[in-house]
Each structure stands twice: as structure tokens, then as C-alpha cells.
A and B are shown apart, each in its own frame.
Chain A
Amino acid sequence: MDKTLSELYGERISEDWCERVAYSRDLGEIPAVLRSALKIENVPDLVARPSNARDVAAAMEYAKAGGVPVTPRGSASSGFFNAVPVKKGLCLDLCGLDQIEDVDQEAGTVTVGAGCRWLPLDRHLRRQGWAVRTYPTSAPTATVGGWINMEGYGVGSLAYSALIDQVVGMEVVFASGEIRWITPDSTPPTTWFAGSDGTLGVVTKVTLRIRRVPESEKHWLVSFADSDALGRAAVELASGYAGPYNMSFLHSSYFDLQRRMGHAAPDGDVLAVDYEDSAEAVAEGRQRVAEAAARHGGTILPDRLAEAEWEQRFRHLSLKRLGPSVLAAEDWIGPDRLGEYQAAVARLGRRLKTSFYTYGTIVGTQRMSVFTGYLTDRRKPLSYLIALSVTCRLHEIAGRLGGRPLGVGLWNTPYLPGIYSPEELTELRRRKKFLDPAGLLNPGKHYEWPALLSPGLFSLGANMGSLLQRFASGQ
């Protein structure tokens, strides 16, 4: 092991196989045969746990000198290998950077380490009368830095937009080893790092805008006969002033699985509407929800169901118990296209004899995420490999409706031409070259696809896989 790093990190660096292999996965379940075919080396050679930006800078100096790939990692609570090495090298576990500084009462901001987890941060702030503005549905474990490096949309984004819009500034360690504090107006600006998969620099500290703990909060569930009506109600509620804090969508197929788990679940397609605001605004919200429900044929469900669903907002993955594996495609679409999306998913399900379930988050009048999953079993390698191809069909449905995959990492690189325009992709590659000319940071992600995942070849493979899925599906 490198002597300088060893002396600097002490017990916070390891070459032990167990330590290294523990950092070789995320939520994504990729069969070893596929990893091997793609020549993915997901077990790092070395894992280090920095405790400050200087530690990270030293790691970058080491990487620069030896041409060692560096994979920054938060909690790895995504599923696209965003924070998993594909070319081994050094993995930086940033979870130790979890300090929370004092709230700036005047500015309404807090500065935190990039490894700070969202739920503990929110609880910490609430004890002082403050709260985070938005958070991911993996808040118990997801880190602030990790979510910046994803696209940063989640609970509360309807009211407060993307996470990056709440970032006043952040400390970044660049591939050169330089430590800099950047802002929305600096070069590079903070916005470059949103959804960049840790490929441009290692975020070590972030100053976030926060909010006062809302005076009042209330949650409603509105059941609709179909997703089309639900989508229209969602657009209406998201429009205009004093809208909800958060809205999410739970398709009836999601509740079918909840019932299979033995849980009580409502009928219909359900729009969850969450208000967190002044008592007056929440009361007004009640009126708006009632009006939207009446106008679009929805039924407001009992309060206890709405409260229970709100409590479950971090636990959607519980359905995996039924699999035991889940495969999924997550896309952005317009809420106004939700009905068409669900109809197309239903048709695909019938054609492939596959049961899908869907839920999502509405983040604006033009944009919502849809997570469409299906149960499978990784213990049956062949049928699992075939089932993998179905994600491609789901992304195609979203694409036909003007949507695109959410997040890139490694596994969505075949969809790069659908995620970015040619101009956008050129610009992203320019930024990468500018900030990390040697390509040390998280190589193999975001900008290029592995040869076997080139869009044409991938599409062909996915088509063949989908054909087989009709026969492989035991349903």
C-alpha cells in the first residue's frame, strides 16, 4: 500500500478483501456472467475513508501519480452502479464526512459534510426549529453528496425544485487534488455537479438552504378510477400558487402487491398529496384537494390511510420481499402522459406475461418520475438475464411519450442518446475533459457506454430478450 496514504489514513484505509468487496455493489442486481462479459471490475483494490477534504485531496494526488481510478461513494443507495467501481482502483467511502455545522439563522442555511444522511440531518434540524427542504425516499441512508450526484429530485421537490437549487455552495476536491469552494456563479458552477455521478469532482461539504419547520402538515390520498384522471388532477394541483409540498403517485398494481404482503391497501390509482405549510395554507390545501378530487372523479380516502402511506414513504422497496428480486425502469415523463404510460405498460405486461407495478413522484406540472418494477428471481440466472431486457421496453414506452430514463450511472449509458441531446452530451464530455482530463474520477460512467452496451447492440439484445420473456415468464 502507498506509504503516504497509509500514514495519513491509518486504520481508515484497507486492502483486505472483505473490506473491499463490501463496496462492490449497490441496489442493482447484476449477474456475475454479465459483469464478466462487460469486463466490469467492481471490487476496488483499496478502500479509504476520508475524514476531511485534505484526506480526499491526498487520495487524488495518489491517484493522479499512479493513474488509479477513483470511485467516490456515499451510501450507494441507487441501482445504476453510480457509486460502484467498474475499473477497480480506489474507492472513497465518504460516509464519515457526516458533520453538521451550526445553522446560519440569518441566512437560513446549514453546512454539512457530504456524507451526512438526510433523515438524521432533518431530525437534527427539527430539534432547532428548522428542516431540510427536500429529501430522497432513501433518506434514512442516502447522503447529501450522493443525492447531489444523482439528479436530486424527491420528496418536497414539487415545492422546492431540485436539490442543486438549494445548494448555496460546496467544497469540491478536483481530480488535480485542488480543494475549492464553488457556488452557483463560480467556474465551474455547482450546477455542473448535479447528476454527474461523481465524475467531475469529490463533493466534501455542502451549504444548503433550509426551511423553518412548517406550522402545519396534512396528508391526503385521493383514489381515481384511472391514471389519466389522476394525472390531470396532479397537474391542476401542481399549478398555481400555494401548491402542495409533495405529491406522489401509487398505481393500483402497487397496492395489489401490498395486499399480497398482507397489508391493507386502497382501491384504484392513488394520488398522495402532502401539504406542509402555514395552518392557513394547509386549510386552503384541503379545499384545493377536495375541488380537484371532485373535478376529476376522485375519492378522498380516510385520513388514517393517508397518514400510514406517508409513514411508508421510505419503504417502497419492501415489495422486494415478494421477488425475491426486483427489476425496474425509472423514467421522467409528463404527468399529463401518465394515463398513456400506464396503458402502454399494461399492454406490455399482457404481451410479455409480466406483472408490473408502478409508483412515482410529481415534481412539477411538466415532470414526474415513474418507477415501474416487476418481480423476478435472481436465483434462476437464465430467466433473470432475460427479464433484465424488459427494462429496455419500459424505457421505450417513456421515450415514446417524451420521457427519458432517470439517472445514468453505468446501466443507463445505453440510453444516453435518449437522455441528452447531442449538444448536451458534447457539453458534458467537454466539462469532464476540462475537470478530469486523465479520466480518473469514476471512469466508465455517464459519458460513454461499454462496447457491449452500445445503443444499437443493446437494443437488439433487449428485443431478443423481450421475445424470450414471453416464454420465460412463468405467469
Chain B
Amino acid sequence: MDTNTYCTDVHDALSICARCGYCRDACPAYAASGWESYSPRGKFTILDSLAEGKDFPGTLANRVFQCTLCGACREACITGLDPRGMWVKLRKQLADRGQAPPVMEALGEMIMTKGNMAGEDKANRLLWTENVENVPEDTAGKKDAEVLYFIGCMASLYPAAYAVAQSSASMFLKAKVDFATMGADEICCGFPLVAGGLTGKLAEVAAANVRKIEELRPGRIVSTCPGCVHMWQHEYPSLLGKPVPVPVQHSSQYLLELAKEGRLRFKSFDKVVTYHDPCDLGRNNGIYEEPRELLRCVPGLQLVEMEKNREQALCCGGGGNLEMSDKDLSERIGTMKMAMIKRTGAQVVVTGCQQCRRTIQAAARREKARVRVMEITEFLLSVIDDGEG
């Protein structure tokens, strides 16, 4: 257990914080709640007051988890602080003290025992393949493939997100990509553990996934899940003290390469499309342009931007395990996102994340918005020109 006081490892940051409030007005949790205590500045002020000798209160513990970890605060901070990193550290300290929401503990237990966040049997990771034609039988566990498709828990275990995995596999097949999956041996990348404050268990998860990659020896890892990409690119190397043995890419980056090589071509799509930057792909991975460039490969497609995009993009409300700790707050953020999408006049909103797709789809249903919500691979498959008319 971490025996530091709550404020010790954030002490310097509390002194550096200018309390200008720029983070507050960038924070989706603040915008949705209206209370200063939800904002990074508010939490800093409370933490700073605790440093003067007060106990750590339950409201603040809640606020630390009532956050999407979207990282907008880090972009807004004029003194260069990383509040998102602080929230991750604080979540761990709270979890160590049993002050995390109980659902986080249950989530951790599930990931460590079942290897996925859905609590499913590992054999179910292959169910999504049943509706995809022509997937070679040896795809799962195939060695020395050009690409290892790391699917992630959502796209492989949640039927509503199967379309993302199925679209990716279909795209790979159409582009004649020699690809493999880990099949039933894929285990959760550990991203939900980070958000749950359960980082003590991460190294175990990382080691298991990296061992599998060393065994399969693919040319590269491609994932449709920004959280998985983040873990492989940024967390695993520091957790394991060594680089991941092969390059890791988000599917938008890889598909763009394929499009540029002429292995993917698209039909005309004469509609207005807007792109939602997933926080874990954009702010937390720095990938903004590749998805847009891909969309611009589609003839006739008119790409319009939301008033807040790229580094300033508004979160959809689905990050940071917020749905588990405060579903209502998550939905209110989703509603704000949907209002922003509607203001663009777009007929389709495309995003690079299966979780954002799910959250925005839910917001669209609630708001009765006449806008189609699609993950980028799913969208591209719908407009692919494969010569079959």
C-alpha cells in the first residue's frame, strides 16, 4: 500500500497551479455539473486546503472518479501541469485505501480472473468472427503475420461493438493483409485498471500480453481501441522497463498507409461528416490528423469540424470509467457532445474509438438526433470500393 499522504505527491503541483481556472472551463465534468469541485482547479483547491491538516473527505474521493480522464485540463493548463496524471495517481491512492467506488474493485477482480472487463469466458473472444466471411481458420494465434490485430475487450466481447472488429477484419481481407489475432489468449490491455486506480496489477497484464507478442512475432500491432494503443505505446514500456518488440499503431494510422499504397479505395460518399476526436486517441496519444486524412480519401465526403476539435475536443463522456462511477454525469457530457455534433449539421459522425461510438450513439438515441454514429473502420468499410459494385 502506498503510505504517502494524499497531498505529498501532488504538493509541488498544488504550488505551481496558478488557479487561473482555464482547466475548469475546459473540463467536461465541470461543464456538466456546474460545481467548481468537479473541475481540476476546484479539486486542486480542496487538496491544497487538505494540506493544511484536514482529513480526506468522501466528496473529494468521488470527484476524483467523477472525471473522464480526457486530459483537456492538461491542454488548458498554462503552467504546464498534468492534472490527468494526478487524477490517475490519486485514484490509485484512493483504491489502496478502499475509497474507490466499489465497482472499480469488482472490475479489477474481473480483469485479473477472467482476463477481460466483461466477465466473459475467454473462448467468447472469438464469437465476433462468426459473421465475417473468409477469415482464415488459422488467424487466431497465427505466427509471423504482417499484422497482429489487438481487438480489445469491447469490440470482441460486447455484441453491440462486434461491428468494429468485424469491419477491421473485413478491411484487412479486402486489402489482402496477412493478419493474425491472439484469439482467446488476448487479455485486457489494462487500461480500465489505470482508470480504476488499480495500477498495482498492471505489470502482470502487460507482461502476459507482451509474452504473447514475443511468441507470435507479428510485424506490427494494430488496434481499433485507442485505450489499448495507449497502453501498448506508453504504459507497457515503462511498466516492463523495455520497449514493446514491434511497432504499435491505431487502425486509422495503418489504414491510411494502406490507402496511400493503393490497397484500399473508396466509393463516392456525398454527405457531410464530422469527426469526433477520442480523448485517448487525440490528447492522450497525439493522433489527430490520420483519421481526418483517411476521411478525406473518400471522394465527395465533406468533412466539417466541430467548434472544439483536436486538442480542444470535447470528451463524449465515456472515458475514465465514468459510466461505472456516475452514469448520469457521463450521459450529461454525452448530451453536450451531441449538441455540438448537431451544430455542425453533419449527417454522419465518425470516431476512432468503439467506446466513443457507443457513448455518442446512446446520446443520439436520447436526443433523438438524426445523425449516424460510426467507428472509422466501420464507416470506411461501408464506402470501400472493392470492385463489386
Contact = CB atoms under 8 A, between A and B. Distances in A.
Nearest to B21: A141
B52 interface: yes
Looking at chain B's contact residues, the main secondary structure is helix
B63 interface: yes
Contacts of A18: 37, 46, 57, 59-60, 63
Interface string B40-51: 001101101100
A355 B20 CA distance: 23
A24 B24 contact: no
A302 B166 CA distance: 53
Given A49-B35, A320-B18, A22 B42 contact: yes
Interface string A64-105: 000000000001110000000000000001011000000000
Contact of A77 (B21, B43, B79): B21
Contacts of A23: 36
A120 B308 CA distance: 11
Interface in B18-45: 18-22, 24-25, 34-37, 42-43, 45
A22 B36 contact: yes
Interface string B255-269: 000000000000000
Interface string A355-378: 000000000000000000000011
Contacts of B132: none
A75 B57 contact: no
A19 B15 contact: no
Nearest to B26: A140
A321 interface: yes
A218 B24 CA distance: 31
A22 B46 contact: yes
Nearest to A379: B15
B20 A77 contact: yes
Q: Categorize the interface residue count of chain A.
A: 35 or more
B307 interface: yes
B47 to A, nearest CB: 10
B59 A96 contact: no
Contacts of A379: 11, 15
A158 to B, nearest CB: 24
B123 interface: no
Contacts of B45: 21-22, 24-25
B25 A324 contact: no
Interface string A1-32: 00000000000101011110111111100001
Contact of B34 (A49, A141, A326): A49
A16 B59 contact: yes
B19 A324 contact: no
Given A75-B21, A315-B78, A325 B46 contact: no
Contacts of A264: none
A32 B59 contact: no
A19 B80 contact: no
A314 B48 CA distance: 25
Nearest to B30: A95
Given A25-B19, A49-B34, A318 B79 contact: yes
Given A18-B63, A96-B34, A317-B79, A324 B22 contact: no
A17 B57 contact: yes
A92 to B, nearest CB: 12
B1 interface: no
Interface residues of B, number: 32
A418 B153 CA distance: 67
B12 interface: yes
A364 B16 CA distance: 34
A122 B263 CA distance: 45
Interface in B184-223: none
Contacts of B79: 317-318, 320-321
Contacts of B18: 27, 317, 320, 326
Contact of A93 (B12, B19, B36, B54): B36
Contact of A317 (B42, B46, B78): B78
Contacts of B49: 21, 24, 43
A14 B34 CA distance: 12
A165 B78 CA distance: 31
Contacts of B307: 123, 127
A32 B52 contact: yes
B16 A324 contact: yes
Interface string A410-454: 000000000000000000000000000000000000000000000
A14 B307 CA distance: 33
Given A17-B59, A19-B35, A26 B19 contact: yes
Nearest to A74: B21
Looking at chain A's contact residues, the main secondary structure is loop
A323 interface: yes
A126 B378 CA distance: 35
Interface string B330-368: 000000000000000000000000000000000000000
Contact of A27 (B20, B35, B52, B76): B20
Contacts of A127: 307
A21 B21 contact: no
B78 to A, nearest CB: 5
A324 B20 contact: no
A306 to B, nearest CB: 20
Contacts of A21: 45-46, 49
A25 B25 CA distance: 17
A19 to B, nearest CB: 5
A117 interface: yes
Contacts of B19: 25-27, 76
Interface string A316-332: 01101101111000000
A399 B80 CA distance: 35
Interface string A333-346: 00000000000000
Interface centre among A14, A25, A49 (most CB of B within 10 A): A25
Contacts of A325: 15
A402 B285 CA distance: 53
A314 B20 CA distance: 10
A141 B36 contact: no
B57 A95 contact: no
Interface string B276-289: 00000000000000
Nearest to A25: B45
Nearest to B25: A141
Nearest to A12: B34
B54 to A, nearest CB: 8
B35 A323 contact: no
A140 B48 CA distance: 23
A138 interface: yes
B136 to A, nearest CB: 51
Contacts of A49: 34-35
Interface string A131-148: 000000010110000000
Interface in B66-88: 76, 78-80
Contact of A19 (B21, B48, B59): B59
Contacts of A324: 12, 15-16
Interface string B127-162: 000000000000000000000000000000000000
Contact of B16 (A19, A315, A320): A320
A18 B43 CA distance: 9
The 6 closest A-B pairs by CB, nearest first: A18-B59, A141-B21, A22-B42, A324-B15, A22-B36, A324-B16
24 contacts: A16-B37, A17-B54, A18-B60, A19-B59, A22-B46, A23-B36, A24-B45, A25-B19, A49-B35, A75-B21, A75-B25, A76-B19, A96-B34, A138-B20, A138-B21, A140-B22, A140-B76, A141-B24, A317-B20, A318-B79, A321-B16, A325-B15, A326-B18, A378-B15
Given A22-B42, A324-B16, 7 more contacts: A12-B34, A16-B37, A17-B54, A32-B52, A140-B22, A314-B22, A379-B11
